[in-house]
Amino acid sequence: MRIFSREEMQRRVDAARAAMDRLGLDAAIATSYAASYYLSGAPIHCFGRPLATLIPRQGDAALVTSIIEQGHVAAQSGIADVRHYWDYNTTPDDNGTRPPLQSLAQLLAGAIAERGLATGRIGLEDATLPVAHRDALQTVLPHAEFVPASDMLDRLRLVLSPEELALTRAADAIADIGQERLIALIAPGVPARELVDRVRATMIDAVLERHPEMPFHFHVGTGLGSAAKGAGHSEWATWNGESRVEPGQLLETVISVWLWGYWGNVERAVYVGEPPDDVRRAFQIMVDANEAAISATAPGVPLADVDRAAKAVLAAHGYATRTGSGCGRGITSYEANARELKMDLRRYADVILDPGMAFSLEPDLDVPDIGTFRHCNTIIVNDEGCEVDSRLPR
């Protein structure tokens, strides 16, 4: 099945070509999971078998990948010129051997030469392409001029289309279901293993009912916020088999969901039992930081200002911060080290917000001797300001 409509994919290619025109590029080669998926429509985790999506400024696109991807590339991508290599050569014949990188380079060079671009200016993903891969391309295309193009390709994905936002919202909705179930189950004495199993089962049932056609991936986790045990993101299942919820624990409950590679996430700080006054105060400061950042989010606002709004609340109460206030939403993958870094809430961010941009909001308040307080929601910029894409109370 096609993940995105033909119109959506044509819009992306047209935007890429307009960006290439501004930079004077004859073509761009997407080699990362995120950029190749975005421009080809086929989500491929390379895992030792590299890929390349070639988008010329004029003419037909091409896709080079392993033969094991043949079936789903045919089903998901509208690119007609697809070239596959085998694990040992460019063909299955016994006519010599070569590793996948050399096969990819040869097939890609052929596609570039056929388009008359062997001496052209070609954009590469300089931020993610290994040096050995660049050298392999330079060997087979000695007269091409390779130009850094990661920034150009990454900025194509800043504004999520309605089809992308539909996936993001669907993932957030499943995360809501998981988080709601997790909070309902947390009680003193409950085994950690039981929590993770029951929450995952609830989310699997929800996905199979709502989105039976979609591949999915979950992360169900928490960090302990006590001074004795540290804090941070970790799987419930990393606790030993005897671990149980205890009174007085401050938990960061993290539910992440990926549908077709688009990330939804809901996180809540949860205290087990009746919280003392110092916990209540810290919790409220964290909530106020979230609300300040939400109020600051609107079209035309620098992304860095949203980060500053959250940090200003923490600073007013004498707290420093160890992280940014959130990260970009869109195509993400732990497996492929893929994050929408341009949309991270950082003081150095240079993005000006537009409707359709999306990011997580998760200002992090780490209080010595108490623990870590953090909520996380997906924030979607709209014409009036923003939408908080979660139905759970903050």
Is the pLDDT at 387 greater than 70? The verdict is yes
Q: By the 8 A CB rule, do 176 and 390 touch?
A: yes
Q: Are 136 and 167 contained in the same domain? A: no
pLDDT band at 237 (very low <50, low <70, confident <90, very high): very low
In a domain, 92, yes or no: yes
Q: Are 167 and 115 contained in the same domain? A: no
**Average pLDDT taken over every residue of the chain:** 93
Weakest mean pLDDT among 45-59, 74-88, 207-221: 207-221
In a domain, 1, yes or no: no
Residue 62 β-bridge partners: 54, 81
Amino acid at 326: G
Q: Are 204 and 133 contained in the same domain? A: no
In the block, tokens 């979607």 appear at 380
Domain that holds residue 59: 6-155
For the chain, what is the domain count? Answer: 2
Which of 234 and 379 is assigned the larger pLDDT? 379
In a domain, 18, yes or no: yes
pLDDT band at 201 (very low <50, low <70, confident <90, very high): very high
In a domain, 312, yes or no: yes
Which range has highest mean pLDDT (333-337, 368-372, 383-387)? 383-387
Q: Are 183 and 90 contained in the same domain? A: no
Q: Are 269 and 338 contained in the same domain? A: yes
Question: For position 40, which CATH number holds?
Answer: 3.40.350.10
pLDDT tens column, 121-151: 999 999 999 999 999 999 999 999 999 999 9
Percent of the chain with pLDDT over 90: 83
| Selection from 288, 334, 343, 328 nearest residue 311 by Cα | 288
Q: Are 18 and 123 contained in the same domain? A: yes
In a domain, 93, yes or no: yes
Name the domain boundary from 155, 185, 206: 155
222 CB contacts (<8 Å, ≥6 apart)?
234, 236, 251, 252, 253, 254
- State the Cα–Cα distance between residues 229 and 246, nearest whole angstrom: 13
Helix and strand totals (H; E) in the chain? 10, 14
| Selection from 60, 63, 58 nearest residue 30 by Cα | 63
Question: For position 288, which CATH number holds?
Answer: 3.90.230.10
Q: By the 8 A CB rule, do 251 and 182 touch?
A: no
Handedness of CA 30, 114, 25, 62 (dihedral sign): negative
pLDDT tens column, 154-180: 999 999 999 999 999 999 999 999 999
Q: By the 8 A CB rule, do 101 and 133 touch?
A: yes
Name the domain boundary from 105, 137, 155: 155
Which of 195 and 21 is assigned the larger pLDDT? 21
**Mean of pLDDT values over 354-375:** 94
Q: Are 176 and 191 contained in the same domain? A: yes
In a domain, 137, yes or no: yes
User: Model pTM?
Assistant: 0.93
Q: Are 133 and 272 contained in the same domain? A: no
**Mean of pLDDT values over 60-69:** 97
Q: Are 148 and 261 contained in the same domain? A: no
Encode burial over 287-301: b for 16+ CB neighbours within 10 A, e otherwise.
bbbbbbbbebbbbeb
Name the domain boundary from 140, 155, 170: 155
Torsion angle in degrees (nearest 10) through CA of 263, 380, 210, 268 = 70
CB atoms within 10 A of CB 262: 26
pLDDT tens column, 321-349: 889 999 999 999 988 899 999 999 999 99
Pure H helices in the chain:
6-23, 33-40, 70-76, 100-114, 131-140, 150-155, 162-185, 192-210, 277-296, 303-316
Q: Are 108 and 222 contained in the same domain? A: no
Q: Are 237 and 316 contained in the same domain? A: yes
In a domain, 394, yes or no: no
Q: Are 146 and 276 contained in the same domain? A: no
- State the Cα–Cα distance between residues 48 and 87, nearest whole angstrom: 10
CB atoms within 10 A of CB 265: 25
- State the Cα–Cα distance between residues 383 and 30, nearest whole angstrom: 31
In a domain, 182, yes or no: yes
Amino acid at 174: I
Q: What is the pLDDT of residue 223?
A: 55
Q: How do 121-124 and 27-30 pair as beta strands?
A: parallel
Which of 149 and 243 is assigned the larger pLDDT? 149
